[in-house]
Amino acid sequence: MVEPATHVAGSLEDVEPAVAAPIADTDPDLQDDPPPKNETAPQEHDPSPGEPPTDDSLEEPDIDTWGDFFEGADDLEVYDEGFVSVLVPKISLEWPASLASTLAEAVSEGGSDGLNPDAIVPALPALWRVVADAVHLVGFGCLTRESVRWGSGTWQLILSPRYSLTGTVLEAGHHDEHFHRWAWLQDRHVIAYALVEAVVGRRPAGRQDAQALVECAAGEVTPGFDAIVDLLLEGDLAVGDLRALQALDQLLSRNATNPVRYRCFRETMTGSGKASGRAEDNEDLAWWMSVKGKPTCLALMDGITGNHDGWGRKAVLAAMSAIRGAWESGTLDPAEAIAVADREVCARTPPGGATAILGSLSPDGTGQLASVGDSAAWQLRPDDPVNPKHYQAWRLTPVHTEYAENLRADATVVKGKSSLTRYLGGAARRPFTLTFSLAPGDLLVLLSDGAAEEEEPGRWFGGVLAKLAAARARAGRAVAPGLAADIVMRAERLGGHDNATALVVETDWADPDEETTVERAADYR
């Protein structure tokens, strides 16, 4: 165990041990999760000689066993001659140049040498090049809590290399493959946590906490941030391989170069857990209106109600009636439409309320969203817009709940996931708004919260959407309508605890010979 460093120049906390395994003190989430209750833990796989280690074989030391072994041995034995049985070095750090601010400091301080949160994602390609230089210089496992920094308009990494007992830096290839995989995973987590802390303002307590923070703050930085964090934390990246991160950067920068058109597909289902045979059971609503040459208008709402009292259904119908009238009269701005809907709900259905996502999609590929509540908008982009095999997803809208607000300051918060802080019905004065870009092949997915049923705690829902879309594409089946159906059926298979509604918008190249048409959803299902 290394004692706290004496700071000669600059500042570096939490210096990593010189030779210990790189995981235990850095990220408890890197340890394998315990098996669920009443289940038998899988047997450890012991790779045979020459076989590369698998993820299942990357087990950590049993720390509790060592703790029991040394229980009561708090004092090291010192002999009369001054001989000490265990020696712990005192390390002083002296940097050859001045240290830039940590990434979190650079974002919070702002100024000429700071970094706007919206500039983080566009700046990441340069970070991957710096990471590659660091790995080449000192190997894996060299990043610590304060390593990721920003100054003078560029990235800086300060490294904590591993030393031999003679004081020399161990060469990059000194350790075996097992160590490299652990150390590379640690470095990725260090980078992910630094990015999340800079954007959200609190350092994640672990992997699941990081993903929850990113989901709650979705849309507050350049779209795609959550996809990058998920790839760092969960991606199957070979040791030292940055190509997947570079490919994601290129995917995020793709834009429409020609006019596009949109096709909308909707599916909704009354959750079996709520069904009582009444029309009021399903309080979700999805609708769209599309006129060639003009923005396509979208709406998805989820009613807020008591116990089968019907006011949630009345609220979404009143809101949709007002929004439709505004859209048909030419009022297309989603934030203005939110205000129109809020006034109508307050006036006509005061006991009820609703979440809402309203959108406007222009023929040039520019999209606008406004949202209140916990319904979600996601964007999916294929690897190839003509012959897709894989999709990447990222969330566009944040979560407006007490839980999401409190999570920014407290990693232990668990209550308030159903308590909305913004909604139609008197709490929609500050809707979230976003302008984003769509390219041919993209899918825009609007979901009620019941359609995003959680299958495994802590798992990112963007990965679920990407897998469902890719399965459709590889099977040669229509992706957008099938995805809408797959989403609501998945929610029902997971228990049908709530109504599930999905509105999926397909983006394609516009047909210049297509006749002018007006397309509307036939009803407000």
Cα gap 24→53, rounded to integer Å: 19
User: Hey, which residues does 302 pair with through a beta bridge?
Assistant: 284, 355
Chain centre distance of CA 453:
16
What letter does residue 72 receive in the DSSP assignment?
T
Cα(126)–Cα(146) distance, integer angstroms: 18
CA distance 232 to 226: 10
User: What integer is the mean pLDDT of 372-384?
Assistant: 97
Q: Distance between CA atoms of 161 and 142, rounded to whole angstroms?
A: 5
471 half-sphere exposure, CB direction, 13 A CA radius: 10
As given in the structure block, the two tokens for residue 223 are 């779209």
Q: 14-56, pLDDT tens digit by residue? A: 434 333 334 334 455 554 444 444 444 444 444 444 444 444 4
d(CA 138, CA 159): 8
pLDDT digits (tens, 9 = 90+) for 174-226: 667 888 899 999 999 999 999 999 999 999 999 999 999 999 989 988 999 99
Element (H, E) at 7: strand 6-7
Residue 170 neighbours by CB distance under 10 Å: 15
Number of neighbours of residue 120 by Cβ within 10 angstroms: 21
Q: How much is the pLDDT for 399?
A: 96
Exposure on the CB side of residue 278, measured as CA atoms within 13 A? 10
Query: pLDDT-based confidence at 339, cuts 50/70/90?
Result: very high
Q: Which residues are CB-contacts of 165 (< 8 A; sequence separation ≥ 6)?
A: none
Is pLDDT larger for residue 173 or for residue 183?
183
Sequence-ordered list of residues with C-beta below 8 angstroms from that of 154, at least 6 positions apart, any chain: 126
Tens digits of per-residue pLDDT, 234-268?
998 999 999 999 999 999 999 888 899 999 999 99
Degrees, nearest 5: CA angle 505-511-513: 140
pLDDT for the residue numbered 32:
45
- CA–CA dist 447, 429 (Å, integer): 22
pTM: 0.83
The count of other CB atoms within 10 Å of the CB of residue 491 is: 26
- CA dist 162 and 460 (Å) reads 34
In which band, very low, low, confident or very high, does the pLDDT at 308 lie, cut at 50, 70 and 90? Answer: low
Residue 467 CA to residue 391 CA, distance in Å, equals 7
pLDDT at 406 over 90: yes
What does the alpha-carbon distance between residue 460 and residue 209 come to, in Å, rounded to a whole number?
Answer: 11
Residue 105 has pLDDT above 90, yes or no: yes
Average pLDDT taken over every residue of the chain: 84
Burial of 446 per CB tally in 10 Å (0-12, 13-18, 19+):
buried
Residue 31 CA: distances (Å) to CA of 22, 189, 522: 12, 13, 52
**What's 515's DSSP letter?**
P
The string of pLDDT tens digits covering residues 421-442 is: 999 999 999 999 999 999 999 9
Average pLDDT over residues 74-87: 69
**Cβ-count burial of 195 within 10 angstroms (0-12 exposed, 13-18 middle, 19+ buried)?**
buried
